[in-house]
Structure formats: C-alpha cells, structure tokens
Amino acid sequence: MDKLLTRAFDGDPRSIGRLISLVEAESPESKEIMKKIYPRTGGAHVIGITGSPGAGKSTFVDRLISQFKADGKKVGVIAIDPSSPFTGGAILGDRLRMQDHAVEEGVFIRSMGSRGNLGGVSRGTHEAALILDACGFDIVLIETVGVGQSEVDIVKIADTVCLILTPGMGDDVQIMKAGIMEIADVFVVNKADKEGADKVAADVQVMLKMLGEREWVPPVVLVSSNKNTGVDKVKDIIGAHEKYLNESAEGRRRRWSQLEMEVESILRGEISAVVEKSWKARKNDELMLSLSERRSDPYTLAGEIMEEIMK
Ligand SMILES: Nc1nc2c(ncn2[C@@H]2O[C@H](COP(=O)(O)OP(=O)(O)OP(=O)(O)O)[C@@H](O)[C@H]2O)c(=O)[nH]1
Ligand SMILES: [Mg+2]
C-alpha cells in the first residue's frame, strides 16, 4: 500500500488510477488511503464543469486542458458518466475527444460511474479529486452532466463552478433551473458560432441582476469550443476567481462550509453502513411475518435496533 502511494505521489499514472479504483470501489483499504492522501491535498484548484447533455462540456474541457497546459500546469480530469453504475468505465465519446491529451505528460483523464447518484457527484468523485490533488495536479477538472437538482452538488467540491449554456436548447428553461444560477461562478455560453448566443448571454445578465448584489459577479463569456475562441478568457477568469477565493472572507466561508459538508457526508456514509449491517443481521422470515400480521410494528423494531446500535 505504501509503495502504491509513493508511486502515485511521484506521478505514476497507473498507480494513481489504481488508487482511484480502490477508493471508488469502497475497498477496505480506502479509508486508510484517504487518511494518507488528505494531508497532501489543498494545493489544487478544483473546477466543476456542468451543463445540459450535449452542451459541449467535453469539447470545452479539452480546450481548457490545452490552455492550462500552455501555462505549465498539470491537469487532472474526472468525467462523470451518470449512466454507468460501474467503476473505471470510460465514456467512449469523452475518451475519443480527449484522448490526444490522455497520452500527454502531465494530463490524467479518468471516467467514473456515479454510484447511483443522478447528478453524478458522489463521495467517490470527491475522493478521486482529492487523490489527483495529492498527486500533484495543479488543476482538477470535473465534468458532470446537469441533470436535475443534484447538479448543484458540484458546489460541495469545486472551488470554481462553470455552467455551460448553449443557444437553442430551450434557453429560458435551462437558465431558470432551480439553484444553478446561484452556484455558477462563471457562465460559459458555448457554441457562440451559432445563432442566438448573444441572446442567451443577455438573458443570463438579466437573471444575475435579479439575484441582487454580490461580491463576486459571475462573468458571462461567449465561447466557441469548436473554433477555440473565448476559452483563454475563461481560463483567466478562473484564475481571477481563485485569487478572489484566496483573499476574501467569502472564500474562507466557502472552504469551511465544504469541509463541514465533507465531515457530514463521511459520517452519513458510516452511519448508513451500520444501519444496513444491523438490519441485515436481524432480518428473517419470521420477523417479516410478524410485521405483516401486525404482531409487531416497524417503530418498535427500529427502536430496538437503534438501542442495539447505540450500545
Ligand atoms: N457548433 C458548435 N458545436 C459544438 C461546440 N462545442 C461542442 N460542439 C458539439 O456539440 C456536441 C456535443 O459536444 P460534447 O462536448 O460531447 O458535449 P457534452 O456536454 O460533453 O455532452 P455529454 O457529455 O454527452 O453531456 C458535439 O457534436 C460537439 O462537436 C461549439 O462551440 N460549436
Ligand atoms: Mg461529455
């Protein structure tokens, strides 16, 4: 285990991949791994890239990788595939799109399933980001598909959240989506080579005004990932946002609240594992029969199990 960690800290891609697999599979060693990883984390800037399916997230990420690479930064990428419940899987499209980078020095790309979590951001995602952070990546990009409410979960782990919008996708609906306006730090209007991008940008500005005064006013950037325009601007804004977080009370508040959520989420995981184990140990046909015949009730039973757990 220590050997694996040493090799990963030295930047060996296979060892890094192996660590992520162990943690993603919730293997028995994973807690020990994370304890050793954690002290080395905190150096990376974690960027969440979210948006509707097909908005151009992967294409944009690919361009962004090049931008950061040109600045001499090491870039780790986690692409979440919400349709894949299993581990280590690669999304063919993403792999193809980003594969030129995948073989480059200083770039690590990993696809992950979402562990049944619809928006895709799970503990496994967070742990993978922490591993990349500890292994010396300056930038960690997380691509997550914006499906429903859980897409806002990205704010729990990202320092900077980029929301990718596009012209012609039912713009009002995508912008109004609950919660997402509030959590985006940068709005990327992608496919600006297509008609309607200006209108989307203007609509976003109106929505932002409605949210009221804020210290960090999220910039709205027109981008064409296909033509590679505007991506450099987004990179600069991400840099400015990082600086803002480092220097402002808001940045500190955000970090603390992320740490709080992190502890809570670990605790919740531990507790539900205990609950599952206790219930499994107790469950049998006779017990189920007595419940269904109303000879006992779920409340009393749960109370008894709780008492056992708390002992
Ligand atoms: N015209 C135009 N098309 C683009 C642009 N960026 C991406 N696309 C196209 O949009 C389609 C979807 O791109 P992806 O990068 O796979 O989008 P995605 O958001 O990662 O998609 P999912 O991961 O499936 O949600 C592809 O056909 C891209 O070529 C752009 O700037 N302009
Ligand atoms: Mg994609």
pLDDT in tens, 148-192: 555 678 888 999 999 999 997 665 555 566 677 888 999 999 999
Please give the distance, rounded to the nearest whole angstrom, from the Cα atom of residue 271 to the centre of ligand 2. Answer: 34
Ligand 1 atom closest to 224 (CA): 31
Contact 194 CB / ligand 1 (< 6 Å):
yes
Please give the distance, rounded to the nearest whole angstrom, from the Cα atom of residue 54 to the centre of ligand 1. Answer: 5
Please give the distance, rounded to the nearest whole angstrom, from the Cα atom of residue 223 to the centre of ligand 1. Answer: 12
Please give the distance, rounded to the nearest whole angstrom, from the Cα atom of residue 290 to the centre of ligand 1. Answer: 56
Contact 303 CB / ligand 1 (< 6 Å):
no
Per-residue pLDDT at 228: 96
Domains defined for the chain, CATH in brackets: 41-247 (3.40.50.300), 261-310 (no CATH)
Please give the distance, rounded to the nearest whole angstrom, from the Cα atom of residue 264 to the centre of ligand 1. Answer: 36
The number of the ligand nearest the C-alpha atom of 225 reads 1
On the question of pLDDT at 258 being above 80, the answer is yes
Please give the distance, rounded to the nearest whole angstrom, from the Cα atom of residue 50 to the centre of ligand 2. Answer: 10
Contact 53 CB / ligand 1 (< 6 Å):
yes
Per-residue pLDDT at 174: 57
Per-residue pLDDT at 83: 56
> How does residue 233 score in pLDDT terms, banded at 50, 70 and 90?
very high
Contact 193 CB / ligand 1 (< 6 Å):
yes
Best of 59, 78, 95 for a ligand 1 pocket test (most atoms within 8 Å of beta carbon): 59
C-alpha distances in Å from residue 59, one per residue of 105, 194, 231:
20, 15, 11
Contact 57 CB / ligand 1 (< 6 Å):
yes
Per-residue pLDDT at 232: 97
On the question of pLDDT at 7 being above 90, the answer is yes
Ligand 1 atom closest to 62 (CA): 15
Q: Whose CA is nearest to atom 14 of ligand 1?
A: 56
Of 90-94, 179-183, 270-274, 290-294, least confident by mean pLDDT is 90-94
pLDDT in tens, 84-138: 443 333 444 444 455 555 556 789 999 887 665 544 577 889 999 999 999 999 9
The pLDDT > 90 percentage for the chain reads 66
| Mean pLDDT of the residues in the chain | 87
Please give the distance, rounded to the nearest whole angstrom, from the Cα atom of residue 77 to the centre of ligand 2. Answer: 12
With tokens 């992608």, the residue in question is 190
